[in-house]
Chain A
Amino acid sequence: MNMVDDSMRPLEPSTALQERLATALPVSVAACFQCKKCSSGCPLTFAMDLLPDQVIRLALLGLEEQLLGSRTIWVCSSCETCTTRCPNGIDIAGTMDWLKEEALRRGYASQPGVARFHQTFLETVRLGGGRLSEPLLLGLYQLKSGETLKKITSGAIIAELRLGWQLARRGRLVPKLPRRLKGAGEIKEMFAKAKERG
């Protein structure tokens, strides 16, 4: 009889992930000696399911699913405190970025709102021909969030509209037609190339 249940299944480390990370980032995650300085200084640990040092440890062990499905990589605000303080020079915030891009590529979405925000931001730059229109970003993000109805029923939309109005009144949120840049073609090509690679 097999007495080993799932929780007792032995860990199967793999070096595949750390090798891929090593091609993208200057210092291997294998340099980590677990001082936890990254997690000690991180301002967002209160919202994370994995601490930054655990992200590095799991990357070393190659536990991709746990990493790509984690909340941590998306609630990381890219403040770069961890990268700055790592005594071994590991680019921890850069690792989070790499994992975000990989998570999207492979269909993981633990924080769909955050991912959608980043994607909508870039889409807005593309549509605007190279510069970001903030009113367009707000509008598109609202449409794509799929939460507009929820916000209407909960009343949250009122606070948002009020804020938008306060900004508009001060001339800080004024929809304008995008400026046509001379480099519009170049920029369009950049986005097309990035899509190809993505």
Chain B
Amino acid sequence: MQVTYYPGCSLEGTAIDYAASIGAVAGLLDLTLTELEDWNCCGATAAHSVSHQLSLALPARNLALAENAGRDVVVPCALCFNRLKAADKALKGPAGEQLGIAYQGDLKIWDLLDYLTQEPLLAALAQKVVRPLTGLRAVSYYGCLVARPPAVTDKPDCENPRNMERLLTVLGAEPLDWSFKTDCCGAGLALPRPDLIDTLVERLYERALQAGAECFVVSCQMCQANLDLPQERISKKFGKDYYLPVLYFTELMGLALGHPDVKKWLRGHLTDPRPLLERKGLI
């Protein structure tokens, strides 16, 4: 299998651990990720907040490049996925002509989790599990933008996605049900209004603990950073002692498939998942 891969800016920076685990897992699944040549930033929340023009023009260039490359595009970042999808829809309307970008609109854009949890891939994955994640109690946290709004993302199950739970079950972990899997963590406001993050994320910690979780599993690096980095600060502020590692689903795939680099990825986290995984006898 071969797809075009659009990593997005943060996978070259703060989320290099996510990028590394994605590359490793793709290798184990015989999936060739061919990075989109010369890709640019999607504009993220900033563009759609303050420049409608750039919020279309920036992703549109990527779409035109990807269409030329001729394969489905797979996107690991929720925000990039959302912006590429939004531009894909908009370019098929009057905005397309106005931007003057040559784009036919025949491109299939996937978010990475959806791509990797297609039924045949899950079945193949089940055969490759060498270290089942037995006893690992986790809540799936999808965040906002891979799911919403469905008119952009084409996901009818946006209020209650289940594919991460299906994946975790295949990996042998224990996915827990909770009502906050697509609630917003506010990542876009993390720098200008960290006080708001504290309120939003503390609520997620509490709900995850109520569900009996020992960790979060995420498919978005903004969610990962926003739940992982301020854990100490939020603990102090609320007089609690939170310890909830925030793992990428690809890290857990790598762990269950026995990839040798897992510990290297885990070192990138601020809330160190290694004590939890050691306690569970998984590393």
Q: Does B40 contact A (CB under 8 A)?
A: yes
Which of chain A's residues have a CB closer than 8 A to the CB of B149? Answer: 80, 83-84, 91, 93
Which of chain A's residues have a CB closer than 8 A to the CB of B51? Answer: 101, 122, 194, 198
Which of chain B's residues have a CB closer than 8 A to the CB of A198? Answer: 51, 53
Q: Does A46 contact B (CB under 8 A)?
A: yes
Within the complex, the shortest CB–CB distance from A88 to chain B, in Å, comes to 13
CA A194 – CA B192 in complex, angstroms? 24
Say whether A132 contacts B41, CB under 8 Å: yes
Say whether B268 contacts A118, CB under 8 Å: no
- Which one of B14, B16, B189 lies within 8 Å of A75 (CB-CB)? B189
Interface residues on A, range: 35 or more
Which of chain B's residues have a CB closer than 8 A to the CB of A183? Answer: 38, 40, 61
CA A187 – CA B12 in complex, angstroms? 19
Say whether A174 contacts B13, CB under 8 Å: yes
- Which one of A44, A100, A130 lies within 8 Å of B40 (CB-CB)? A130
Q: Does A108 contact B (CB under 8 A)?
A: no
Which of chain A's residues have a CB closer than 8 A to the CB of B200? Answer: 43-44
Contact with B along A88-107 (1 / 0, CB 8 A): 00010100011011001000
Q: Does B130 contact A (CB under 8 A)?
A: no
Q: Does A9 contact B (CB under 8 A)?
A: no
Scan residues 65-119 of chain A and give those whose CB is less than 8 A from a CB of chain B. 75, 77-81, 83-84, 91, 93, 97-98, 100-101, 104, 111, 113-119
Listed from nearest, the 7 A-B pairs whose CB atoms lie closest are: A79-B184, A121-B46, A130-B40, A80-B148, A132-B9, A113-B192, A118-B46
Query: Which residues of B are at the interface with A, using a C-beta cutoff of 8 A?
Result: 9-10, 12-17, 38-41, 43-54, 57-58, 61, 144-145, 148-152, 158-159, 183-184, 186-189, 191-193, 196, 199-200, 229, 233, 267-268, 270
